[in-house]
A and B are shown apart, each in its own frame.
Chain A
Amino acid sequence: EDQVTQSPEALRLQEGESSSLNCSYTVSGLRGLFWYRQDPGKGPEFLFTLYSAGEEKEKERLKATLTKKESFLHITAPKPEDSATYLCAVQARSGGGADGLTFGKGTHLIIQP
């Protein structure tokens, strides 16, 4: 069974204080690992797709990396508008195509001014 564990569950940072969010996963044949951002009362918003170990993607203050067992979302010099819940998900490569995404429970990030 595919599993995704995110840590920490919650993180409070001062504006400008860089940190990393962790996503550990087990999947039978990884098709892709995905990062989403979810604001209160909204649906998740796609951020990144990573396909293979060693791959990195960047977008503004966010950088996602992938190893064979985990992914990190690095946040550099965050601003209050980066406050959100960050979700990690994996997709398995199944015989008939791709399975639905398996999500972690997310990291609730608060950036204080």
Chain B
Amino acid sequence: KAGVTQTPRYLIKTRGQQVTLSCSPISGHRSVSWYQQTPGQGLQFLFEYFSETQRNKGNFPGRFSGRQFSNSRSEMNVSTLELGDSALYLCASSQTGANTGELFFGEGSRLTVL
């Protein structure tokens, strides 16, 4: 069974640019969550989608957005990049809408903002 796939794995952008990250969940999983991981703040919740609807959102500015498609694949977008956006962005999927906290994470997309 294939795991959660995130693309791209690494990318470098400059301040002011925007970036789109992609996540393909495990087959059959309908919930997709996004997290930002930095050495200083650890893992922080961005948002969660279930059946194409955003159910929960963390405390991040509006520059961070996401969406989910009918096949459960998800994308997140960061506009007007800042140096502080450099981080590992992790996508996680889960099987049901129960939001049990048993998440299956991908290996992440490492974003560097110069």
Residues of A participating in the B interface, judged by any CB pair closer than 8 Å: 31-32, 34, 41-46, 49, 87, 89, 91, 96-106
Contact = CB atoms under 8 A, between A and B. Distances in A.
Contacts of A103: 35, 42-44
B43 A91 contact: no
Interface string B42-83: 111111100000011010000000000000000000000000
Contacts of B47: 100
A87 B92 CA distance: 15
A46 B56 contact: no
Q: What does DSSP make chain A's interface, helix, strand, loop or mixed?
A: strand
17 contacts: A34-B101, A41-B107, A44-B103, A46-B104, A87-B42, A91-B101, A96-B55, A97-B55, A98-B98, A98-B101, A99-B45, A100-B48, A100-B56, A100-B58, A103-B43, A104-B42, A106-B42
Contacts of A41: 107
B101 A89 contact: yes
Given A43-B92, A97-B55, A102 B45 contact: yes
Contact of B43 (A31, A45, A49, A87): A87
Nearest to B91: A43
A49 B107 contact: no
B25 interface: no
Given A99-B56, A103-B42, A104-B42, A43 B101 contact: no
Contacts of A46: 102-104
